[in-house]
Structure 1
């Protein structure tokens, strides 16, 4: 399948996924649900993928990518459409769990396909184009949902989002015979499961860095509205600051094809840790809207740039026939962050304020930056030797 077609399929499916999170939250509130209930809905998006990510990766290693893509996109269509067809609160539980789980399988399969169909020379560049697709749908899904809810209503919005997923499914089916279908029926003999992958030093470093950078991303999206409110900013102003972050991620991913030709993987990851560390260190000292937007933009440039480097390292380091499993471990790490970080930092912020929360994140980023920089120096020494 051409990379451009795969990116279009991903944008459509991810727009439906992202838009559904906004729509489920607002629809539940309109039905009288409490904020706690809404929080539970959102946690369902990540709870099952947190436990099933590794198994999904192993399945994709075993059966290839064609069937997982077809089945996961079909489930995504049905799950997104369900609240529009059954307009009560209870179907939202089923919808949230099925949307999150189906997109997790879709996500791993798409990333595995990009890795497997790329060469060593263009793999990081191709992951950069895929990351740009995700940045595009990060904007389309929520914006489309917001306008659609205001103009048409919640039920109609679910059906519109389902139509995006259905278009993605149609394109997957249309291109199914051109999907590279590599089956790994016989994985390596020494198969110690996910723990064995964690024993590989390079993969372990990638998983640690992935978890820390995902936490930095999640904390910003979660904590910026709380911090903004605490210093008296309006909702629209907070939205503009969050928008500054989103625009930066799009811009840096647009530049990734050039960046990946000039900056090596561990250098890019080290720079990202440095940028994020700086941003979180100075956040609590800033109350100016322009400065907050500038810091958010800087943070977006850093955090938006690392995915291709991480994915390229993961794919080339994973044992033969187990790249999907490695991506499943990464998915589990990400979903642990999505599930527990808001609860952990939310409780700390309530007790201590957001300043200590930001500085704690900065300390963790310093540790990650040291790990990444040590590896960067090792790779540089090997290259010069």
Structure 2
């Protein structure tokens, strides 16, 4: 993880977007491996807590821990990516994921798994900012942003499609130890894949006054409302991740079945992102987001009455189509409503705001589900999606003016 020699750095800085795109598959593969480590830990930790009889509230706390570290680290991660480029921040994230998985594997106590959730959440936040920044450099014109970020969004979708199924099978046929061992191997795979991405440290720039703080970006109405939309839609994703293990456990589904339900959601998200890659030129980002919100609202309302594994898989797949289409559109919109020289700051700010606003969501979901019904978090998010149509209309007016 040391800095490259000066002549290598100078040559790397001459790389153009077209040259960088040759390494794009390795970038996506790195993202899949890093995110899969977190996803395996998340599913395994949730099922472990339920297996030990800790209940829904504890599951909510564990899921909340994944969002705490990004609150502290997101802006710092953005500065590190701007200063050092791709490899050093990803190396930091890999190390955090590795330590977190090792603690869960060796400890397998509530406190050890909680610490693991905290580290794995920080790992994906640091890595994701650097990965998104690197991906943005691979687009040499604005029309390519949707296509590039659709591929970037496929990374988490692919890991969410494979990791819960793999974790469920390992738990059912071997043990929780086997699942946590898989989470330990994946960061090492990620670091090996990251070495395929060419090193090109950011060019040094002269300092002309103090840089503007990231918070000043919130003065832009379009960006403010876009971040608000992102918060609500991310919370819907969290609600689904929380409700499926809880409802599935209450219905007597096996870990493999719960993994299949979560996998159906992620597979649908992956498929819709592939479709966005194909039809990116014909899509209006804001219209796509608003349609996705309507579809998600409907599914969140009726999800509680879906019968058995097959019914939950179908409902999760449709919900995955809706929510899976959002991230590429949000990232493309973010680049359109943010000054070009501050897009790195905007990416870090987006991650900070989303995680700050949703850190209490899983714990709140746990309390709400324990006090009322397991599906109540989904009904709450359906109500918020209806209200979120208002900031969407503000963004539309800002873009048209």
- Work out whether the TM-score is over 0.5: yes
Kept after mapping to 1: 8 A contact 2:60/2:366: no
Counterpart of 1:181 in 2: which secondary structure?
coil
Q: Structure 2 length as normaliser, TM-score?
A: 0.81
Structure 2 equivalent of residue 143 of structure 1: 165
Q: CA offset at residue 95 of structure 1?
A: 2.8
1:84 corresponds in structure 2 to 105
User: Aligned equivalents of 1:346 and 1:37: distance in 2?
Assistant: 7
1:215-239 C-alpha deviation (Å, 9 max, x unpaired): 1221223234555677xx4425766
1:235 is aligned to 253
Give the whole-Å Cα distance in 2 for the aligned partners of 1:15 and 1:241: 17
Structure 2 Cα separation of the partners of residues 228 and 157 of structure 1: 19
Partner residue of 2:155? 133
The 1-side partners of 2:111 and 2:366 are apart by: 27
| Partner deviation per Cα, 1:94-138 (whole Å, 9 max, x = no partner) | 433222212210011111111122121212101111212221111
1:317 counterpart = 2:337: yes
Count of aligned pairs between the two proteins:
375
SS of residue in 1 equivalent to 2:360: helix
Question: In 2 relative to 1, CA 111–151 (structure 1 residues): closer, same or farther, beyond 3 Å?
Answer: same
What is the match of residue 242 of structure 2?
A: 222
Cα RMSD (Å): 3.2
Residue pairs, 1:26-37, within 5 angstroms: 26=47, 34-35=54-55
How is 1:1-385 mapped onto 2 (pairs within 5 angstroms)?
1=20, 2-26=23-47, 34-35=54-55, 39-85=60-106, 90-119=111-140, 120-172=142-194, 174-175=195-196, 178-183=198-203, 189=209, 191-224=211-244, 226=246, 233-236=251-254, 241-283=261-303, 286-288=305-307, 293-353=313-373, 357-376=377-396, 379=399, 381=400
- Structure-1-length-normalised TM-score: 0.84
Instruction: Structure 1 unaligned segments of length 5 or more: list them.
Output: none
Which secondary structure state, in structure 2, belongs to the residue aligned with residue 235 of structure 1?
Answer: coil
Are the equivalent residues in 2 in contact too, given 1:187–1:320 (CA < 8 A)? Answer: no
Question: Deviation per CA, 1:267-310, whole angstroms, max 9, x where unpaired?
Answer: 211111121223234446x4555666544332211110011111
Deviation at 1:89, TM superposition (A): 5.8
1:264 & 1:287 partners in 2: Cα distance?
32
Partner residue of 2:15? none
Deviations along 1:138-159, whole A, 9 cap, x unmatched? 1222222232344444444433
Segments of 5+ residues of structure 2 without an aligned counterpart are 1-19
2:67 and 2:356 in contact (8 A); partners too: yes
Q: Deviations over 1:143-202 (max 9, x none)?
A: 222323444444444333322211211222x335x1343257567857552331111122
